[in-house]
């Protein structure tokens, strides 16, 4: 039974990757299409179960609900006032809404926020799960993770807007997207990641540092999205941007994982009994 969440999480990621291939790599592989709602649900399922498996169910669910609440709040304010991301509104293509925000959007934030968080952890510490809970450490991780996450939006936002899922009322200088949008993403995700770090600090989590395939899956998910966007024949310039904007952090995380997986120092740091607070204090 203890492996069931891992299996379901892996299945969710596999469904998501399949759906992305079917949607974007049409010239190379002809596959039945799965809609955006199913793609969002599949990757969200993966992210929630992965977080619950590695952080514990209480922490994982707190991360999920905190993310959905905060991102819905930012989005609602953003749509109503235009003050966060610029002037925009959602069409009806993403289904029913709570206020001005489709129900799918807050889970979609989490499905991107969680893998980006662990990619940043690998880049900074060579660890699949974040360790440092001192304020300097968690703020540094929040900044890097916010950059990694915003790179995702740099790639997908123009195409999603062009397809009509949301509309920029005054356009913008970046393929019709205002630059304010990316500042808004940085602010939103930075706040979410600081909350993640404070949750770890508050719960005094003891995180085992697994070096198995399951721990690597969030980085694999981020890399898979990168490769799909690079191969997307309809993305135009965005496919080139994806190679550098998302490809660079994905490559850094993969290199850190492969380099540190056999390091004696890494094995010492991965001892299950080490407390996060002790690790943070020793750096």
At 101-114, the pLDDT tens digits run 999 999 999 999 99
Please state, for a pLDDT cut of 90, what percent of the chain lies above it: 64
Q: What integer is the mean pLDDT of 182-189?
A: 97
Whether 246 has a pLDDT exceeding 70, the answer reads yes
> How does pLDDT run across 138-159, given as a tens digit for each residue?
999 999 999 999 999 999 999 8
167 secondary structure, DSSP code: E
| Most distant pair of Cα atoms in the chain: their distance | 55
- Which has the closest alpha carbon to 222: 129, 117, 133, 94? 117
Q: What's the CA gap between 11 and 66, in Å, rounded?
A: 25
pLDDT for the residue 44: 96
88: three-class secondary structure by DSSP: strand
Residue ranges of alpha helices (H) inside 164-236 are: 179-203, 213-231
Nearest to 50, CA basis, from 173, 215, 202, 172: 215
Can you tell me which residue has the tokens 């922490």? 59
CA nearest to 144, candidates 169, 119, 127: 119
pTM of the complete model beyond 0.85: yes
The answer to whether the CB of 278 falls within 8 A of the CB of 137 is no
| pLDDT band, very low/low/confident/very high, at 170 (cuts 50, 70, 90) | very high
What proportions of the chain, in percent to the nearest 5, are helix, strand and coil?
70, 5, 25
More confident residue, 35 or 165: 165
Report whether pLDDT(265) > 70: no
Q: Which two tokens stand for residue 164?
A: 């009509």
pLDDT of residue 174: 95
Residue 26 has pLDDT above 50, yes or no: yes
pLDDT, tens digit, 9 for 90 and up, residues 37-83: 888 999 999 999 999 998 999 999 999 999 999 999 999 999 999 99
The residue written with tokens 């892996």 in the block is 10
Mean per-residue pLDDT, 208-213: 75
CA distances from 102 to 63, 150, 176, 264 (A): 20, 20, 22, 48
- Answer for the pair 172, 179: CB distance below 8 angstroms, yes or no: yes
Positive/negative CA dihedral, 145, 210, 251, 242: negative
H or E element, residue 168? strand 166-168
Tokens representing residue 18 in the block: 């399949």
Cβ contact 246:226 at 8 Å: yes
What average pLDDT score do residues 25-29 get?
Answer: 56
Q: What is the pLDDT of residue 277?
A: 37
Share of the chain above pLDDT 70, in %: 87
**pLDDT higher at 173 or 235:** 173
The single-letter DSSP state of residue 263 is -
CA distance 282 to 272: 16
Is 18 a residue whose pLDDT tops 90? no
């Amino acid at each position: 039974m203890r492996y069931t969440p891992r299996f379901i999480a892996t299945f969710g990621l596999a469904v998501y990757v399949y759906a992305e291939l079917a949607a974007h790599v049409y010239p190379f592989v002809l596959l039945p299409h799965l809609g955006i709602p199913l793609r969002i649900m599949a990757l969200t399922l993966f992210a929630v179960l992965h977080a619950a498996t590695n952080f514990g169910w209480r922490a994982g669910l707190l991360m999920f609900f905190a993310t959905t609440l905060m991102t819905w709040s930012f989005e609602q304010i953003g749509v109503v006032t235009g003050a966060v991301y610029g002037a925009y509104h959602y069409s009806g293509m993403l289904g029913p809404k709570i206020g001005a925000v489709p129900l799918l959007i807050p889970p979609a934030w989490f499905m991107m926020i969680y893998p980006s968080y662990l990619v940043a952890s690998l880049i900074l510490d060579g660890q699949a799960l974040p360790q440092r809970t001192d304020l300097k450490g968690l703020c540094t991780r929040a900044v890097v993770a916010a950059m990694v996450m915003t790179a995702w939006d740099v790639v997908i936002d123009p195409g999603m807007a062009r397809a009509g899922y949301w509309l920029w009322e005054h356009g913008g200088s970046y393929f019709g997207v205002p630059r304010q949008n990316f500042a808004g993403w940085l602010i939103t995700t930075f706040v979410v990641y600081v909350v993640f770090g404070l949750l770890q600090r508050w719960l005094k989590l003891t995180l085992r540092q697994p070096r198995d395939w399951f721990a690597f899956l969030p980085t694999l998910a981020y890399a898979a999205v990168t490769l799909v966007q690079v191969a997307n024949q309809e993305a135009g310039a965005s496919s080139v941007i994806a190679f550098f904007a998302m490809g660079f952090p994905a490559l850094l995380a993969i290199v850190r994982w492969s380099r540190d997986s056999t390091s004696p120092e890494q094995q010492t740091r991965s001892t299950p009994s080490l407390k996060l607070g002790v690790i943070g204090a020793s750096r």
